[in-house]
Amino acid sequence: MKLEKIVEDTAVELLRIAATELPVEYADEMRRLMGETEGEVGKSQLSSILEDVDIARAGSLPMCQDTGVVAFMVKLGDGFPLRSSIKDVLVNATRRATDEIPIRPNAVDMFKGNTGDNVGLRGHVPIIYIDLVPGDKLEITSMPKGGGSSNVANHRMLKPGLGLKGVKQFVVEAVAQAGSLGCPPYFVGVGVGGGEDYVMKLAKEALLKPFKVRSSDPEIAAVEEELLAKLNELGIGAMGLGEGPSVLDVHVEMAARHPASLPVGVVISCWALRHAKAVILSDGSVQVIRGA
Ligand code: SF4
Q: What is the CATH number of the domain that holds 141?
A: 3.30.1330
CB–CB of 21/64 below 8 Å? Answer: no
Same domain, 7 and 100: yes
Our answer on whether the CB atom of 266 is closer than 6 Å to any ligand 1 atom is no
CA of 183 to the centre of ligand 1 (A): 6
Instruction: Please tell me the distance from the alpha carbon of residue 10 to that of residue 277, in angstroms, as a whole number.
Output: 9
Q: Are strands 247-254 and 186-192 parallel, antiparallel or unpaired?
A: parallel
Same domain, 74 and 219: no
pLDDT tens per residue, range 134-192 = 999 999 999 999 999 999 999 999 999 999 999 999 999 999 999 999 999 999 999 99
Task: Tell me if 14 is assigned to some domain.
Answer: yes
pLDDT tens per residue, range 3-54 = 999 999 999 999 999 999 999 999 999 999 999 999 999 999 999 999 999 9
Same domain, 12 and 115: yes
Q: Per the structure, how many domains does the chain have?
A: 2
Q: Which of 183, 186, 188 to mutate to test the pocket of ligand 1 (most atoms within 8 A of CB)?
A: 183
Q: SS3 of 16, please?
A: helix
Residue 73 lies in domain = 3-19+63-146+274-289
CA of 148 to the centre of ligand 1 (A): 5
Our answer on whether the CB atom of 237 is closer than 6 Å to any ligand 1 atom is no
CB–CB of 228/168 below 8 Å? Answer: no
Instruction: Report the nearest-CA residue for atom 2 of ligand 1.
Output: 270
| Mean pLDDT within 209-216 | 98
Instruction: Report the nearest-CA residue for atom 7 of ligand 1.
Output: 146
Our answer on whether the CB atom of 191 is closer than 6 Å to any ligand 1 atom is no
Our answer on whether the CB atom of 270 is closer than 6 Å to any ligand 1 atom is yes
pLDDT tens per residue, range 232-273 = 999 999 999 999 999 999 999 999 999 999 999 999 999 999
Task: Tell me if 30 is assigned to some domain.
Answer: no
Label residue 225 by pLDDT band (50, 70, 90). Answer: very high
* CA 167 vs CA 163, 181, 252, 259: distances in Å: 6, 22, 11, 15
Same domain, 84 and 166: no
User: pLDDT at position 1, please?
Assistant: 76
Same domain, 114 and 177: no
Same domain, 136 and 183: no
Instruction: Please tell me the distance from the alpha carbon of residue 181 to that of residue 141, in angstroms, as a whole number.
Output: 26
Our answer on whether the CB atom of 182 is closer than 6 Å to any ligand 1 atom is yes
Task: Tell me if 255 is assigned to some domain.
Answer: yes
Same domain, 232 and 201: yes
Task: Tell me if 127 is assigned to some domain.
Answer: yes
pLDDT tens per residue, range 72-111 = 999 999 999 998 999 999 999 999 999 999 999 999 999 9
Instruction: Please tell me the distance from the alpha carbon of residue 9 to that of residue 17, in angstroms, as a whole number.
Output: 12
CA of 274 to the centre of ligand 1 (A): 10
Task: Tell me if 55 is assigned to some domain.
Answer: no
CB–CB of 184/238 below 8 Å? Answer: yes
CA of 49 to the centre of ligand 1 (A): 11
